[in-house]
Amino acid sequence: MTNRDSFSGRFGIIAAAAGSAIGLGNIWRFPYVCGQNGGGAFLLLYIVCIVLMGLPVMLAEFGIGRKAQSNAYRAFKILSPQKPWYLIGVMGIVASFTIMSFYSAVGGWTIEYVVRATTNTLSGNHDEMFDTFIAGSYRPIAYQFVFLAISVGVVVIGVRKGIESSTKVLMPALFLLLIILCVRSLTLPGAREGLIFVLKPEFSKLTGNSILAAMGQAFFSLSIGMGCMITYGSYIKRTEDLNYTANVIVIAGTFVAILASIVIFPAAAALNIEVESGGPGLVFKTLPGMFEQMKGGVFFASLFFILLCIAALTSAISLLEVVVTFCVEELKIHRGWATALVATSMFLLGILCSLSLGIMPHLSLFGVNFFNLMDFISADIFLPLGGFFIAVYMGWALKKRITVKELTSGGTVAFSPLRIFYFLIKYIVPVAILIVFISGFWK
């Protein structure tokens, strides 16, 4: 237990946890889910979910992880022996697999676009380009493999050296680039309409599933509800202020999602791209068109897709890490072998996701293709369900004394919103998740 790897300091933790949180969820998934659910009103719902549920659950996860100094499964066994809470950890491991199956497919797409951007072959009809690419048989899968192989490489090197050092540089660079792209997008002729779409809430545009989608998106984009932040919490030093760390990550993540929307929607409006039906291809169809209209477009396109790819990698790494730490600590498998084994299984499931968008469109369940099904089950069901149990656990099962001690880092830092935190984690989070579930499925 004493030789667990740990993050070196405050910036290291923030960079690594933000690296997990900020990824395809904010830049690829947010704009298209927001587009399907009417724009501004969805953005508002998303922010409400982040504040009321996201922040408290993230804090709870950090607290549990740091207190137990263990993986998500063992953490519950240590803190509450002989109780079935460890099943939260088991569910998180299942969620890692389902998320990674489609996440690695999209990660592979980013590599294809890096190659295209850097070789200046990104021009033409972008709708068609994307559709023929994902419908093709082997290229998406080959790139999916490459994406997973790189993630394996980083995870094998280890937490501190691998994860921390790669995210420290990336995160600030990503912010900067997004801001540059916002400026370009907003100054395109016809961009105004897109900006109105995302900033002006029109509640009539929300559909029956929008609240569930907003909640799922909030959990997904913060990497919470599946033990990822429990695992990262266990690498945080005892003296660090968890509340501060969680706040920075939540604010940064939300900011990136909003920035991404301010890039995508105005650009889509200017280029006449349908955002409501854009689906998973939205970012890949919209942005190349925008880059074409930019001075130095090839340079910016290359930079953007490289950063998107790295942002995806730092999140994929955290997904892998959850399962790998479990295999190393519980099943006593060597780290290298564990990583290879887990990634291979994820790849096999991921192939099905890729094929369901390509040559095997009939690969579907309940009328939904496999890719969308994995996405839906992971983000809209597993993560909020995990969040529900984590909140119930911390609010009702874990002794308050332990929580307070952890959140104040043993009494060394002040945690003034303790009352609000308890109110949210005990009542608001579980009840809200239940209501959203019931309203989402009771139709």
Between vectors from CA 127 to CA 280 and to CA 119, what angle results, nearest 5°?
Answer: 100
> Helix axis angle, 165-186 relative to 297-330, nearest 10°?
140
Comparison of 37 and 231: residue with beta carbon closer to ligand PHE:
231
What are the C-alpha distances in Å from 156 to residues 223, 320, 342?
21, 10, 12
Nearer of residues 242 and 311 to ligand PHE, judged by Cβ: 311
Choice between 191 and 249, CB closer to ligand PHE: 249
The closest of 434, 167, 128, 142 to 315, measured between CA atoms, is: 167
* Minimum CB distance to ligand PHE, residue 167 (Å): 13
* Residue whose CB is less far from ligand PHE, 32 or 415: 32
* Minimum gap (Å) between residue 396 Cβ and ligand PHE: 24
What is the smallest separation between the CB atom of 24 and ligand PHE, expressed in angstroms? 4
Q: Kindly state the tokens that stand for 154.
A: 């980083």
Distance of closest approach, residue 21 Cβ to ligand PHE, in angstroms: 5
Tokens of 152: 């394996």
C-alpha to C-alpha distance for 218 and 198, rounded to whole angstroms: 17
- If the CB atoms of residues 70 and 315 are measured against ligand PHE, the closer one turns out to be 315
| Cβ 178 to ligand PHE shortest distance, Å | 14
* Spatial separation of the C-alpha atoms in residues 411 and 37, rounded to whole Å: 44
Token pair in block for residue 282: 């939205």
Binding site for ligand PHE (CB under 6 A): 20-21, 23-26, 99, 220-221, 223, 226, 228, 315, 318-319
Pairing of strands 364-365, 368-369: antiparallel
**Helix, strand or coil, per DSSP, at residue 308:** helix
Residues sharing a CB contact under 8 Å with residue 142, sequence separation 6 or more, in sequence order: 108
* CA atoms of 241 and 273, how far apart (whole Å): 44
When CB distances to ligand PHE are compared, the closest residue is 25
**How is residue 161 annotated by DSSP?**
I
Toward ligand PHE, which CB reaches closer, 228 or 394? 228
Q: How far is the CB of 160 from ligand PHE (least distance, A)?
A: 19
DSSP secondary structure code for residue 191 in this structure: -
- Closer CB to ligand PHE, residue 25 or residue 440? 25
- Closest approach of ligand PHE to the CB of residue 71, in Å: 14
